C-alpha cells in the first residue's frame, strides 16, 4: 500500500516535470487522425489518466485496464463515466469486445519480455478492423538509457519486438514514431525521485546518494537539472 502511494507520488512528479505527455498526445493524435472510426478506446495501464482523460474526449466510449488499486480507484472517482477494470492486462477478460484505438504507454517494462509478443497478440485480438495499437516505450539510446546503464542493465528489447511484430503482422502493418521528452527539475531531490521512478524497482532506494551524485555530474545546469528521454511509439495497424 505504501509502495503504491510512493509510486503514485513519483509518477505525478515525473508527469509534472516532463514535456512528454503533451508531445505524446500530439503523436497519438496523429494516429487517431488515421482511424476510420472513433467509437471505442482502450487504455492499458492508464496510470494517473494523463493520456486517457484527454484522448477519451475523441471517442464515444473509453475502457481502462489498470492493476494498481490506488490509480484505479482514483480513476473511478475522477472519471465515473469510463469503464474501469482493476486488473492486469494478461489476466483481464474483456470478452469479445473490440476497440478502434488501444494504447499501451510505458507499460511493457512491467511485463516479462518473453511475454511481449503474446501480450501484443491479445491486444490485436481486441482490435477493430481498421484500428491501431500504439505501444510507447523508452528508446535504448539517449540520456535516460545511459542513466539506467550506470545502475542496472538497460535491456528493453524494442528492436526485437519491432522485428517480431513485422514477422507476425507484415511490414505494412507496422509504423514507428520517435520523440524526445525533456525532464526538468529545479532541485536535485526531485530529479532523484524521478530517477527512482525510472528505475522502477524499489530496491534502488538504497542508491539514493549515488543517483544524486550521478545527476549532479551529468545533468546539472545553471538553473536546475535536465534529463532527456528518447521515446519510441510502435504503431500496429489492422487491415
Ligand atoms: C509508467 S505508468 C504509465 C502510465 C500511463 N500509461 C502514461 O503513459 O502516462 C505504468 C502503468 O502501467 C500499469 N501496469 C503495470 N503492469 C501492468 C500490467 N501487467 N497490465 C496493465 N497495466 C500495468 C501500472 O500500474 C502503471 O499505472
- Does 159 fall in a domain? yes
CATH code (residue 88): 3.40.50.150
Q: What's the confidence (pLDDT) of residue 205?
A: 92
Class of residue 5 by CB neighbours under 10 A (exposed 0-12, middle 13-18, buried 19+): exposed
Q: Ligand 1: which residues within 6 Å by Cβ? A: 11, 44-47, 50-51, 65-68, 71, 88-90, 105-107, 110-111
Please state the rounded mean pLDDT for residues 222-238: 96
Instruction: Give the span between the Cα atoms of 34 and 31, in whole angstroms.
Output: 5
Burial string for 202-235 (b: 16+ CB within 10 Å, else e) reads eebeebeeebeebbeeebeeeeebbbebbbbbbb
Mutation test of ligand 1: which of 8, 45, 196 has the most ligand atoms closer than 8 Å to its C-beta? 45
Question: Is 231 inside any structural domain?
Answer: yes
**pLDDT tens for each residue of 50-106:** 999 999 999 999 999 999 999 999 999 999 999 999 999 999 999 999 999 999 999
CA distance linking residue 99 with residue 40, whole number of Å:
5
Q: 3-state class of 195 per DSSP?
A: helix
The answer to whether residue 219 is domain-embedded is no
Output the pLDDT for position 4: 73
- Asked if residue 12 belongs to a domain, the reply is yes
Per-residue pLDDT, 225: 98
List, for residues 7-42, the tens digit of each pLDDT value. 889 989 999 999 999 999 999 999 999 999 999 999
Section 122-133 average pLDDT: 98
Residue 2 has what pLDDT?
A: 63
State which residues form the domain around 89.
Answer: 2-143+154-183+226-237
Q: Are 125 and 197 in contact (CB under 8 A)?
A: no
Summarize pLDDT for 176-204 with one digit per residue, the tens.
999 999 999 999 999 999 999 999 888 99
CA dihedral sign, ordered 167, 141, 123, 236 = negative
Is 23 inside a domain boundary?
yes
| pLDDT confidence of residue 116 | 95
50 Cα nearest atom in ligand 1: 9
Looking at the domain assignment, is residue 204 inside a domain?
Answer: no
pLDDT above 90 for 237: yes
> From CA 22, how far away is CA 144, in angstroms rounded?
19
> Which grid coordinates are listed for 14?
515525473
What atom of ligand 1 comes closest to residue 66's alpha carbon? 22
d(CA 140, CA 65): 26
Q: Is residue 139 included in any domain, yes or no? A: yes
pLDDT of 1:
56
pLDDT in tens, 136-180: 999 988 999 999 999 988 778 899 999 999 999 999 999 999 999
Nearest to 147 by CA among 90, 218, 69: 218
pLDDT-derived band of residue 5, with 50, 70 and 90 as boundaries? Answer: confident
Residue nearest to atom 16 of ligand 1 (CA): 110
Q: Identify which of 114, 123, 106 has the alpha carbon closest to the alpha carbon of residue 160.
A: 114
Task: Give the Cα-Cα-Cα angle 67, 69, 72 (nearest 5 degrees).
Answer: 80
**Structural domain tally of the chain?**
1
Amino acid at each position: 500500500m505504501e509502495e503504491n502511494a510512493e509510486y503514485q507520488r513519483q509518477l505525478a512528479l515525473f508527469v509534472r516535470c516532463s514535456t512528454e505527455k503533451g508531445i505524446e498526445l500530439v503523436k497519438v493524435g496523429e494516429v487517431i487522425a488515421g482511424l476510420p472510426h472513433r467509437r471505442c478506446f482502450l487504455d492499458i495501464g492508464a496510470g494517473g489518466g494523463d493520456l486517457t482523460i484527454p484522448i477519451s474526449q475523441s471517442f464515444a466510449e473509453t475502457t481502462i485496464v489498470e492493476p494498481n488499486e490506488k490509480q484505479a480507484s482514483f480513476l473511478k472517482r475522477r472519471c465515473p463515466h469510463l469503464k474501469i477494470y482493476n486488473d492486469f492486462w494478461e489476466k483481464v477478460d474483456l470478452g469479445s469486445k473490440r476497440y478502434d484505438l488501444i494504447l499501451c504507454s510505458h507499460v511493457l517494462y512491467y511485463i516479462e519480455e518473453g511475454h511481449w509478443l503474446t501480450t501484443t497478440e491479445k491486444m490485436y485480438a481486441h482490435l477493430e478492423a481498421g484500428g491501431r495499437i500504439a505501444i510507447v516505450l523508452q528508446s535504448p539510446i539517449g540520456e535516460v538509457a545511459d542513466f539506467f546503464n550506470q545502475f542496472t542493465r538497460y535491456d528493453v528489447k524494442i528492436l526485437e519486438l519491432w522485428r517480431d511484430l513485422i514477422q507476425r503482422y507484415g511490414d505494412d502493418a507496422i509504423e514507428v514514431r520517435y520523440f524526445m521528452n525533456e525532464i526538468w527539475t529545479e532541485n536535485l531531490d526531485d530529479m532523484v525521485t524521478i530517477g527512482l521512478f525510472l528505475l522502477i524497482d524499489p530496491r534502488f532506494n538504497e542508491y539514493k546518494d549515488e543517483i544524486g551524485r550521478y545527476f549532479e555530474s551529468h545533468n546539472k545546469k545553471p538553473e536546475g537539472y535536465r534529463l532527456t528521454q528518447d521515446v519510441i511509439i510502435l504503431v500496429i495497424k489492422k487491415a
